[in-house]
Structure 1
Amino acid sequence: MKKKLVTVTASVLMLSSVLSACGSDNKENNASPSASPAASPSASASSPAPSESAPAPVERFDVSLRHIQIGELQKFRKAILDEVVQKAETEVPGANFEMDAVEDSFNRFTKLPAEMAAGNPPKIFDLFGGPGDGQKYARANKLLDLTPIIEELGIKDKFTDYSTFVVDGKVYGLPIGAGSEGWFYNKEILEANGLAAPTTLEELEAAFATLKGKGITPIAMGSQAAWVPFMLLNTLIPRYAGEDIQAGVADGSRKMTEPEVVAALAKYKEWVDKGYFTKGELGIDYTGQTNEFIAGKAAFLFDGTWRISTFNADGVGAALNGKVGYFAMPAVPGGKGSQKAVNFNQNNGYGFSSDVNDNEKAAIKAFIKNLYTEEYQVRGYQEDGVLPSMKVDASKLTSDNPIMQQVLASNAAAEGVVFPHFDSLVPGAVNGEFEKQIQNLIAGKTTPEKAAEEIQKALDSELAALK
């Protein structure tokens, strides 16, 4: 399956996640208990007429808001969220947003599913699109239909793509940003070891071998959460099997057991066996992976373009400011399809509970109104190094960030072809089996062939259930 590359400038692919800006008061997990103001004394004969009295006190109501912006790496994104919440509270009398920070994977795969099953999700929550998450909850009537809200706000046609949140023509979630992944590299480490930025797979693997031979970890990796190494496989597989493999596997027209898919899994396993990834990666989380790279303990990092701001002068990785480069996954010799295709992800955003009253719905509308604006989309690009999920005046998207410039150049060479992430297209059980097999592959508990078979079995079972 081929999609046209979304552009906001002549060379821009719509990329990553949320936005950054100035902060406000931190209300994280410590909002005071909900309490209504004391009732006013009953009116007496001497009381002034209602039209002459002061406005009646507004009764406070709480709106639970689940987000995943935790820690220093997410500080810019948390700041923008705080600002949006403050604006929404100002606009909706009595509204009090109760912020609840939960780690991404735990929220997506454990906490939110349990809350959905019990019928008590937060009113606003971080939500992933696709059949395994947003579309599944929408079909179960757990999500608020946002169609009338975004029509009223005049933003229904402002998004570049929210298709993974759509069911039967209705919109049930809104993406915060777009995302793609590629290789970040430490310029100083490469230069010190006589290496140039790789332009081919052969050069990339030669760099890995050289660094490993000198006792330097080639690739920072934290595979405690399987979605992290999944990013790399999400690109390797289409390089070998073609950019239509993800959608083909999802609809049953292609198979995970195809030789090219197995070859991609085998290449990943080869890199594991050669010790190219961080030692003990299964015990290292996503933050730990980033810290390994920041500390100069690894030369390469495969990550999303949302990581750019980490290496700014005011970022957590300021020690690497001006010392980091970026390039897309090189072509695979003999690979199918476009070897200049770029992976694409516009699936992470916010969803809203269908179980809301009029006050809560007003607060939700204010939240959407304030978050999804051109102002914040542009500020997110300029301050946090991410590209918009909404249509933005291209003249406002400028950057003097050298990493961003490399991203733009890389995307300009992408020939207009993108491919989606596997987990945005398949049911949750299939995604879970894929992640299980990735970790088994890393741990040496399976082979590429067996892993592919197990993923295909899970997919066949899900497809059969839909017939």
Structure 2
Amino acid sequence: MRNRRTATSASTGTLPRAAVAAALLMAVSACGGGGFSGGGDGGEGDTKDGGGTVRVLVNITPNLTKKFWNDLVAPFEKAHPGVDVKIEAPTGKGVPDTLQQQLAAGDAPDVVETLLPDKTLAPQMLDLTDEAWTKNTPLVKEASLDGRVYAVGVGEQAQSLVFYNKDAFAKAGIRELPENLDQFTSAMAKLKKAGYLPLQTSGDFATGLQLLQFTDPALAQRHPDWYSKVNSGDLKAGSSMRPYLKLYKSWIERGYIDKNALGVKYADGETHFLTGKSAMYVMGSWFTATEAAAKKDFKVGVFAAPVEKGQTYPGPQGATLAAPYMILKNSGEKRLARDLVEFLVTDKKAVTAQLKQDGNFRSGLDRALSPLEKDVQHILDDAPDKVAQGEGYGDDTLPKGFNSAWNTEVQGLYTGRSPDDVAKAVDRWVEAHS
């Protein structure tokens, strides 16, 4: 166990490293910037005739605009005269829905961004296992499926983070950041007494997501092989989460979380925290982009989510692959698509632009970071392990739809359902969909 840190410390402790979001890729607030200019290594070359069109289906958000994507690939096009990289926005509900529609219509793109392979998608994607340039990309092993590499990414998103209002902690007399769940609960009591809503949450997808993010480090130590045991039937997902469901319910009952949080939109939850109405906010590392763009009169800090008393702190960090790319096996431009993806995940300027634009991180890459971003990078670098969450990715996956089902059940805690009822409902859902 490391020495306790002070609540005003600018950095977090020591240790090592894993869902678009693990399964949910979220639209986050704009973070400024818009691509880059200049050259770049475009890969081994272009098609035989010197031209070609590569279609890329990407996620579009307020900061990942079509202009950003076009600026991003412009150096590649410049290095490959006659090549056109066609950026395509989702036409369905999102990238997953759009890709399925395109596959069904026989009109799939050459490259898809945002998604990670599963048993259904992997057979339709190009196997990149033997490509040397993939070896040092982030979380490449963790995101592999049956030992094969189908997706490569730009960086990683830390998930198990607690952002906090430094002024609120000082006013509440909290001098040491909580490292275990008992200390965290005690800190919330002090924050409430000081006049703050201790922990900010909201409705939409955020309710269940935050509980998954928050409990990853503790759950990973309590059940190191959680995914494999749940999938084999040796462990029940809901039952294994019962202690955390009970703790969360107690927080609602004590007023540490807004009892009417389900009526709060995701974006409004962010605003409540950034305007000083609440003291802590559990969210992934992309929140640093939102924080950087917000006007506020206090400083925001961050610490790794606490663990259970007696466990090692910090625990394994929930993390997921940021900006993953896959190449369609049936692409008519395999070589160009491969060269483009290599450029996007290995060219320093291209990588840096993507990391900056969406608040993502990559160990070993030298880029300008805000103090808050530096703290997040330290948490990622120092985590003893990186773990998936929720539906997961790679070999650590649960049935599709788990995140949504989990979110629905967790929200039931706000409407009178007991932790035992929620745990049993989760177990029934997993059993029915396995």
Q: Deviations over 1:374-404 (max 9, x none)?
A: 514456667876422xxx6x4x547664324
Deviates more, 1:111-120 or 1:87-96: 111-120
5+ residue gaps, structure 1, are 1-9, 26-56
Distance 2:88 2:401 in 1: 29
- The answer for the alignment partner of 2:218 in structure 1 is 239
Read off the aligned partner of 2:277 and give its amino acid letter: K
Deviation at 1:426, TM superposition (A): 1.0
Q: Which of 173, 183, 194 is equivalent to 2:162? A: 183
- The answer for the alignment partner of 2:293 in structure 1 is 316
Distance 1:272 1:118 in 2: 47
Instruction: Describe the shift of the 1:137–1:16 C-alpha distance in structure 2 as closer, same or farther (beyond 3 A).
Output: closer
- The answer for the alignment partner of 1:343 in structure 2 is 317
Is the counterpart of residue 402 in structure 1 residue 376 in structure 2? no
- The answer for the alignment partner of 1:98 in structure 2 is 87
CA contact (8 A) 1:63 1:363 kept: no
Distance 1:58 1:461 in 2: 52
- The answer for the alignment partner of 1:353 in structure 2 is 328
Instruction: Describe the shift of the 1:164–1:439 C-alpha distance in structure 2 as closer, same or farther (beyond 3 A).
Output: farther
Deviation at 1:325, TM superposition (A): 0.9
**Pairing of 1:103-252 with structure 2 (within 5 A):** 106-107=93-94, 110-116=97-103, 119-129=106-116, 134-139=117-122, 141-147=123-129, 151=131, 154-163=132-141, 165-180=143-158, 181-200=160-179, 201-213=181-193, 215-226=195-206, 229-236=208-215, 239=218, 242-244=222-224, 246-247=226-227, 248-252=229-233
Deviation at 1:95, TM superposition (A): 1.2
2:121 aligns to what SS in structure 1? helix
TM-score for the superposition, normalised by structure 1: 0.70
- The answer for the alignment partner of 1:277 in structure 2 is 257
Q: Tell me the percent identity.
A: 21
Distance 2:161 2:226 in 1: 18
Distance 1:325 1:214 in 2: 18
- The answer for the alignment partner of 1:387 in structure 2 is 361
Q: Deviations over 1:139-179 (max 9, x none)?
A: 4x33333446xx2xx41212243245534544222223222
Higher-Rg structure is 1
Instruction: Describe the shift of the 1:229–1:458 C-alpha distance in structure 2 as closer, same or farther (beyond 3 A).
Output: closer
- The answer for the alignment partner of 2:413 in structure 1 is 441
- The answer for the alignment partner of 1:365 in structure 2 is 338
Deviation at 1:265, TM superposition (A): 1.1
Q: Which of 382, 386, 389 is equivalent to 1:421? A: 389
Read off the aligned partner of 1:273 and give its amino acid letter: E
Read off the aligned partner of 2:408 and give its amino acid letter: K
CA contact (8 A) 1:84 1:370 kept: no
Q: Which has the higher contact order (CA 8 A, sep 6+)?
A: 2
- The answer for the alignment partner of 2:59 in structure 1 is 67
2:199 aligns to what SS in structure 1? strand
Distance 2:341 2:265 in 1: 31
Instruction: Describe the shift of the 1:125–1:410 C-alpha distance in structure 2 as closer, same or farther (beyond 3 A).
Output: closer
Read off the aligned partner of 1:84 and give its amino acid letter: L
Distance 2:91 2:199 in 1: 27
5+ residue gaps, structure 2, are 1-12, 26-30, 38-48
**Pairing of 1:2-13 with structure 2 (within 5 A):** 13=16
CA contact (8 A) 2:58 2:89 kept: yes
Distance 2:85 2:216 in 1: 46
CA contact (8 A) 1:223 1:285 kept: yes
- The answer for the alignment partner of 2:74 in structure 1 is 86
Distance 1:111 1:442 in 2: 34
Deviation at 1:301, TM superposition (A): 0.9
1:327 aligns to what SS in structure 2? strand
Identify the structure with the greater helix proportion.
1
Instruction: Describe the shift of the 1:11–1:213 C-alpha distance in structure 2 as closer, same or farther (beyond 3 A).
Output: closer
Is the counterpart of residue 333 in structure 1 residue 312 in structure 2? no
Q: Which of 5, 8, 23 is equivalent to 2:35? A: 23
Distance 1:108 1:264 in 2: 32
CA contact (8 A) 2:303 2:379 kept: yes
Read off the aligned partner of 2:198 and give its amino acid letter: P
Q: Deviations over 1:291-330 (max 9, x none)?
A: 222222221111122323433xxx312436x711111122
Read off the aligned partner of 1:127 and give its amino acid letter: T
Distance 1:67 1:411 in 2: 24
Distance 2:98 2:260 in 1: 27
2:118 aligns to what SS in structure 1? helix
CA contact (8 A) 2:50 2:81 kept: no
CA contact (8 A) 1:88 1:366 kept: no
Q: Which of 245, 257, 267 is equivalent to 1:265? A: 245
Distance 1:60 1:156 in 2: 24
1:67 aligns to what SS in structure 2? coil
Q: Deviations over 1:118-142 (max 9, x none)?
A: 555444333333xxxx223334x33
Deviation at 1:202, TM superposition (A): 3.4
Instruction: Describe the shift of the 1:23–1:16 C-alpha distance in structure 2 as closer, same or farther (beyond 3 A).
Output: farther
Read off the aligned partner of 2:341 and give its amino acid letter: I
Instruction: Describe the shift of the 1:279–1:107 C-alpha distance in structure 2 as closer, same or farther (beyond 3 A).
Output: farther
CA contact (8 A) 2:34 2:68 kept: yes
CA contact (8 A) 1:144 1:354 kept: yes
TM-score for the superposition, normalised by structure 2: 0.74
Number of matched pairs? 391
Instruction: Describe the shift of the 1:184–1:440 C-alpha distance in structure 2 as closer, same or farther (beyond 3 A).
Output: same
Deviation at 1:370, TM superposition (A): 2.3
1:125 aligns to what SS in structure 2? strand
Distance 1:165 1:406 in 2: 25
Deviation at 1:427, TM superposition (A): 1.9
CA-atom RMSD in angstroms: 3.9
Distance 1:432 1:191 in 2: 37
Distance 1:407 1:204 in 2: 19
- The answer for the alignment partner of 2:44 in structure 1 is none
Deviation at 1:221, TM superposition (A): 1.6
Q: Deviations over 1:242-292 (max 9, x none)?
A: 15153232443322254x521111112222333333464334443332222
